[in-house]
Amino acid sequence: MTPRSAARSSTSAGTAGAYVVGRSLLHRAPAGLKLAALMVCSLALLLVRDAVGVGLAALAVAGLYALAGLGARAAWGQVRPLRVFLPVVFALQWWLMDLTSAAVLSTRLLVLVALAGLVTCTTRVTDLLVAIERGLSPLGLVGVDVERVALVLALALRSVPVVSDLAGRVRDAQRARGHERDVRAFAVPLVVGAMRQADALGEALRARGFDD
């Protein structure tokens, strides 16, 4: 790997939803198999109700990241968008129920996001798109535009790292201006930037004939 490609991989590893080049077993596994495994594991994790169970699940996901050759930086990059939202969820669950239940629910959410991030880290978006199209192909028999649905899902996956990077740039600018605690100084540029990204994406799609 050249220094330039290594730098790109390092940057991607710290970005939510971004593919990281690799040759591990998880990288080589079919995209459809990984999506099916993600669905099964997510459903199974939702049934876990105790701290030991979610703790073992977290260890298992950490082991999968190691198996894929992804370090703590990559794992943190996938769950980093939760750093503001998760404490609120934890506090709310603790207030409504108890400390153990709050910890279990919060950890379960963290593991689910990390698991989904592992799939996107080890699978190219194009491969995901093909796998989604194949999985949804039976719906084409009842008139569903499978290609368009798959495109929407792929765009949703791709928007995660884009919005995450935008939020990081806005946060850095906010710190530089000394407005770290000003919610409006963060929210307004983020919304405006996201809308500009959406406009640019819409123009690109219209140029390719996806305007109907």
Return the half-sphere exposure (C-beta side, CA atoms, 13 A cut-off) of residue 28. 5
Distances (CA, A) of 6 to 87, 138, 143, 162: 34, 41, 45, 20
- Residue 212 CA to residue 209 CA, distance in Å, equals 8
Which of 53, 38, 39, 37 is closest to 105 using CA atoms? 53
Per-residue confidence (pLDDT) for residue 7, from 0 to 100: 34
Per-residue confidence (pLDDT) for residue 192, from 0 to 100: 80
Percentage of the chain exceeding pLDDT 90 = 16
Which of 75, 60, 187 is closest to 122 using CA atoms? 75
Give the chain's radius of gyration (CA, Å): 19
Q: What pLDDT digit, counting tens, does each position of 97-112 carry?
A: 888 888 999 899 889 8
